[in-house]
Amino acid sequence: MTPTEQDTLLGLRQAGYFIHTEIDIAVFEDMARRYGLEAALFGPLSGRAVLLSAEDLAEGGAGMGIQQIRMLLALRGVVIDAADSEEFDEASGTTRLSVNGASEVLFDWSFTKRTMPEDLVGMNWPPALRDLLWKSRVQGYELAVRTCEHGSPGVDLHLLLGKNSRFFAHWGHGFDDGSVLHAANFFTIVNRLLAQLHLDERLYAWCPFTNDQTGVMLNASLYEQLQDLHLTGQLRRIDSVG
């Protein structure tokens, strides 16, 4: 590791980043040396992260994902009821996830039986993008389309949160709305739970919407410190909790 990276780890240790893990810092440094500092900080060894592959969440793995979240919460002395797997509710046309005694909507499939609103039909966007905007609206949140600020092909999507917005994803070729929306809904369920438990941490996504996606528990102070260290390029909130 470089002296700068070692200083970064020292600063994060002093700020309480590793408070929820017993790992020998030398082991952690070795992983950072082999795979990179971000992979170490935002991986399970940190005591703050769990693997939450976007593809797995979209293909029946959300129940296991909640089990992973339960382990993170247990490190913090919080015990929750957790589902082993999600279930499809045929009556409502939704896939639901039971968390801490509540049945949460993981995905609402009712868009298949609805007519797309005229405000979306009439816009000159590719059909796949219009489908994504429609599906996200059915899930309960609105996405705003903006020109990509980096000049890449495609557009940026921003999640509308009242008077504010949050960068959500870049939409381009090969965009998988199924993985994206399942991941966004899962992270929303978890962060709603964290708020209900009166915890100051929220679940951030590292490498969001990919098979390498992890969920990272951070409070605002630690996130700001990571941001100051330029370590948040692939780390962001993808939930619809304000």
At 143-176, the pLDDT tens digits run: 999 999 887 888 999 999 988 999 999 998 778 9
Q: Check whether 23 has a pLDDT greater than 80.
A: no
pLDDT at 158: 96
pLDDT at 210: 94
pTM: 0.94
Q: Which residues have CB under 8 Å from 237's CB, separation 6+?
A: 166, 187, 191, 202, 204, 205
Three-class DSSP category at 218: strand
pLDDT at 109: 96
187: part of which helix (H) or strand (E)?
Answer: helix 177-196
Q: Check whether 54 has a pLDDT greater than 90.
A: yes
Q: Domain-by-domain residue ranges, the chain?
A: 48-242
pLDDT at 4: 84
pLDDT at 83: 80
Q: Radius of gyration over alpha carbons of the chain, in Å?
A: 19
Q: Check whether 1 has a pLDDT greater than 80.
A: no
CA–CA gap between residue 237 and residue 29 (Å, rounded): 26
Q: Check whether 199 has a pLDDT greater than 90.
A: yes
Rounded mean pLDDT of 126-130? 91
pLDDT at 159: 96
